[in-house]
């Protein structure tokens, strides 16, 4: 395989599909592993708001950063997406992984679909398809995919869970009828199946023998997929064109310490959020609500992200000293962000997944949170501050892009923000905001369209000065 790490060019390609559960994450991770082993400096970027799939990318590339790398036009805006990609300028190859089906955007539109990102950034696309119970009709579906818009950016196809005989049968049909190249196939490998749960795939670290599973897939890829042709089809971009950097704020004279909850219970953070906090002047201190007894010392801010607290309720509830620290710090006005899993953790009580056992939690949010067995809320929303006053993150009347995805619900979801769906305009109240707190189910990208990180850090500096913290 050709390799030149001294090249001034970076290659980019997107892995997408007609629908979910086609194997995009598996194939993306396997390709990242294959090219990494060939000597390429690689990075994976997820299209859309998903936190879990990027963990597989980072597992393979041995990226030790905490945040998920996402390209999300709704949460971040195009300029911020380009900045994120610019930060990957040292890489030889970027593999973008699409979300859902290729054309599935917001509310039945193309907006923020994998196609939208491929179109704006001019990224070639490789479709992953499972040819189950279908033959020549697959060519018709692919023809519809390529003809749906003027330039689909779709260049080639790989068949997943496909036998060699079916691949050989379909290859001339697809290529003659659609003009797309069929680069190969991946046979069904039961031993390499990734495990799932109610929120989607289990975390990379929870998939037992993940390295071995991916090795099995990579071994097959080398024999059944023309990966050299895949590289040829990817788009080469001059690395010099990727020189934009997220700059540290000129006003960030003070360096407030912000504690970030980070363990298997709280692990959902966007890379853009963490980088934006640092760019605004914050020093990030990572801690575990599961295993540490106390919050880090001398902090001026607290960020508890999403994750899986419902899988660790006994351990979280048993760590009473940590909960007492958090409870008293928030009551004393410590600037705090607690979203989704972090919001659940702040409740008086939380029921387990069977809704049988109840566990005491931090006790900032009155009432209990419990598992509903179904998606309570899913998708993008605009959060509007209808309180009539400015708060820590939200200016009065301002609308902030956010995302929800949760199976748990609360007796006390909050009413400080008006959430509105971007399509259909259904609205409902949720979340809590104050001069020192944001707590709610919606996930925010602090490095997105609005200066949320800068506002959070500014309040942390003020708190630090008020309380004599070391800055």
Catalytic residues: 340
| Burial state string for 32-54 with b = 16 or more CB within 10 A and e = fewer than 16 | bbbbbebebebbbbbbbbbbbbb
Closest by Cα among 442, 436, 440 to 463: 436
CB of 391 within 8 A of CB of 434? yes
Phi then psi for residue 235, to 5 deg, are: -90, 130
Distance CA 439, CA 382 (A): 16
Query: How many Å is the Cα radius of gyration of the chain?
Result: 23
Identify the three-state secondary structure at position 441: coil
C-alpha distance from residue 394 to each of 219, 286, 391, 425 (Å):
50, 25, 5, 20
- DSSP for residue 295: P
Beta-strand relationship, 336-339 and 301-304: parallel
Q: Which two tokens stand for residue 155?
A: 């260049």
Within its chain, how far is the Cα of 235 from the centroid? 24
Cα-based torsion angle of the residue sequence 206, 208, 209, 211 in order, rounded to the nearest 10 degrees: -20
d(CA 88, CA 371) in angstroms, rounded, equals: 39
Two tokens, residue 107: 């509310």
Is the Cα torsion angle 342, 348, 353, 358 positive or negative in sign? positive
Pairing of strands 408-410, 365-371: antiparallel
Question: Which of 118, 129, 127 lies closest to 153 in space, CA to CA?
Answer: 118
- Contact by Cβ (8 Å): 363, 349: no
Task: Name which of 396, 391, 452, 430 is nearest 258 in CA terms.
Answer: 452
CA dihedral 318, 342, 426, 436 (to 10 degrees): 120
């Amino acid at each position: 395989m050709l390799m030149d790490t001294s090249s001034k060019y970076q290659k980019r390609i997107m892995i997408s599909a007609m629908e979910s559960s086609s194997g995009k994450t598996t194939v993306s991770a396997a390709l990242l592993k294959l090219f990494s082993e060939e000597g390429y400096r690689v990075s994976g970027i997820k299209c859309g708001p998903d936190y879990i799939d990027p963990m597989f990318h980072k597992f393979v590339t041995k990226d030790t950063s905490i945040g998920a790398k996402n390209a999300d036009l709704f949460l971040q805006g195009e300029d911020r997406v380009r900045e994120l990609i610019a930060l990957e300028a040292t890489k030889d190859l970027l593999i973008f992984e699409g979300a859902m089906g290729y054309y599935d955007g917001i509310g039945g539109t193309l907006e923020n679909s994998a196609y939208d990102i491929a179109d704006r950034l001019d990224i070639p696309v490789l479709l992953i398809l499972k040819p189950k119970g279908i033959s020549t009709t697959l060519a018709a579906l692919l023809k519809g995919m390529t003809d749906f818009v003027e330039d689909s950016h779709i260049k080639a196809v790989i068949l997943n869970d496909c036998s060699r005989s079916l691949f050989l049968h379909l290859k001339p049909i697809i290529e003659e009828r659609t003009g797309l190249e069929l680069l190969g196939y991946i046979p069904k490998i039961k031993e390499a199946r990734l495990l799932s749960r109610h929120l989607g795939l289990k975390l990379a670290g929870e998939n037992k023998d993940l390295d071995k599973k991916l090795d099995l897939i990579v071994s097959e890829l080398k024999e059944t997929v023309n990966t050299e042709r895949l590289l040829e089809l990817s788009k080469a971009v001059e690395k010099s064109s990727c020189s934009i950097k997220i700059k540290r704020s000129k006003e960030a004279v003070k360096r407030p310490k912000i504690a970030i909850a980070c363990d298997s219970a709280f692990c959902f953070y966007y890379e853009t959020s963490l980088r934006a906090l640092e760019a605004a002047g914050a020093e990030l201190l990572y801690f575990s609500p599961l295993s540490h007894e106390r919050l880090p010392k001398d902090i001026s801010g607290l960020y508890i992200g999403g994750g899986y607290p419902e899988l660790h309720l006994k351990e979280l509830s048993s760590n009473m000293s940590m909960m007492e620290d958090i409870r008293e710090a928030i009551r004393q006005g410590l600037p705090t962000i607690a979203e989704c899993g972090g919001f659940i953790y702040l409740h008086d009580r939380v029921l387990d997944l069977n809704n049988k056992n109840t566990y005491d939690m931090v006790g900032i949010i009155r009432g209990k949170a419990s598992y509903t067995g179904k998606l309570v809320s899913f998708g993008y929303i605009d959060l509007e501050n209808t309180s009539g006053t400015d708060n820590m993150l939200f200016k009065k009347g301002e609308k902030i892009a956010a995302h929800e995805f949760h199976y748990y619900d609360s007796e006390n979801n909050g009413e400080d923000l008006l959430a509105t769906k971007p399509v259909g305009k259904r609205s409902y109240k949720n979340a809590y905001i104050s001069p020192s707190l944001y707590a709610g189910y919606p996930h925010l990208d602090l490095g997105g369209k609005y200066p949320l990180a800068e506002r959070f850090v500014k309040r942390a500096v003020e708190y630090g000065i008020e309380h004599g913290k070391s800055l």
